[in-house]
A = this chain, B = another copy of it.
Amino acid sequence: MTASPPSLPPVYPEPDDPRLTREVSGVDQTGAATSTSVVHERALTLYLNAQEIVTMMTIGDHPDLLAVGFLLNQNMLRADDEITAIDIDEDLEVVVVRTKRATNYEDKLKKRVRTSGCAQGTAFGDLMENFDAARLDGSARIRTSWLYSLLAQVNTAPSLYLKAGAIHGCVLARQDDILAYIEDVGRHNAVDKIAGWMHLRGVEAADKIFYTTGRLTSEMILKCVAMGVPILVSRSGFTAYGVDLARKAGLTLIGRARGQRFVVLSGPERVVFDAPLRAAK
């Protein structure tokens, strides 16, 4: 197992980027005029070589990470594929990923499953393809002291969530070091951007912890397993099918993680309880 290069700069939200939010005027509960920040939501159409794949609604940062991560998580890009170029046209709202290998996903694009919390999509069927073959690192551990440190860092770091709400966040961490903290209006977009970041930066998954604000539904489990991350944490809850899939894959699943509380419904052998708990719960 290789760790990520120590020189790699961490990625954090940029809530002051003027392209990501807009001030909108309205009225509050007293009828008084007020002004509030809201996040942008814009279309981004993804091409793989000459093939139009999908149009995504996104906040618009990191289109390269989103494009590559989406293609990886859909099994349209293989880990060993050589990416020859990623072209972004902000005016046309287009991103084109070019590969050395010729690709054609006409047939794949005909499948469609509407996933939880989502409009309908092709994601599910494609994600299941490699699920049975996936193997997660059995030696990975999460200390509760790391978990509490991570939750505190995520909750206090400047973010679009704190500035404008209506957004999901995903974090990739090694122990309690945040390597990438990425947000998007779509929770799956945020996951895909992390996958793209890992791939383009050459970061190994086996010793990492993945945190998401989103729910631990089946598709989230499938994506985490596809990425090879052995430990998945959420502030939200679980679905029964998500738990079943996590247990089948040997993924450690920690949900309802807020303050000092959490529940582990799969893979508790990776959790080391080293943090003292406050008396009152």
Chain A residues with a Cβ under 8 A of chain B: 21-22, 24-31, 34, 36, 38-43, 54-58, 109, 112-124, 144, 164-168, 185-188, 215-219, 236-243, 255-256, 260-266, 268, 271, 273, 277, 281
Of A144, A216, A241, most B-chain CB atoms within 10 Å: A241
User: Is the CB–CB distance between B28 and A118 below 8 Å?
Assistant: no
> Which single member of B30, B240, B266, B273 contacts A30 (CB below 8 Å)?
B273
B24 touches A240 (CB 8 A): yes
- Measured CA separation A192–B43 after assembly (Å): 23
Q: How far is the CA of A236 from the CA of B165 in the complex (A)?
A: 8
A166 touches B239 (CB 8 A): yes
Q: Which residue of B lies closest to A74 (CB)?
A: B120
B185 touches A116 (CB 8 A): yes
A265→B24 contact, CB < 8 A? yes
Could you tell me if B41 and A240 are in contact, using CB atoms closer than 8 angstroms? yes
Asked if B164 and A261 make an inter-chain contact with CB atoms under 8 angstroms apart, the answer reads no
Rounded to whole angstroms, the CA-CA distance of A264 and B30 in the bound complex is 11
Cβ-defined contact, A237 with B164, below 8 A: yes
Q: Are B144 and A218 in contact (CB under 8 A)?
A: no
The reply to whether A263 and B26 contact each other, CB–CB distance below 8 Å, is yes
Question: CB distance B41 to A118 under 8 Å?
Answer: no
CA of A56 to CA of B176 in the docked complex: distance in angstroms? Answer: 37
The residue from B58, B113, B256 contacting A57, defined by CB atoms under 8 A apart? B113
State the Cβ distance, A122 to closest chain B Cβ, in Å.
6
- Give, as a whole number of angstroms, the nearest-CB distance from A115 to chain B: 4
The reply to whether B236 and A166 contact each other, CB–CB distance below 8 Å, is yes
Which residue from B120, B216, B239, B271 sits with its C-beta under 8 Å from A56?
Answer: B120
List chain B residues, Cβ under 8 A from A38. 237-240, 242-243, 265
Assess whether A241 is in contact with B187, with CB atoms less than 8 Å apart: no
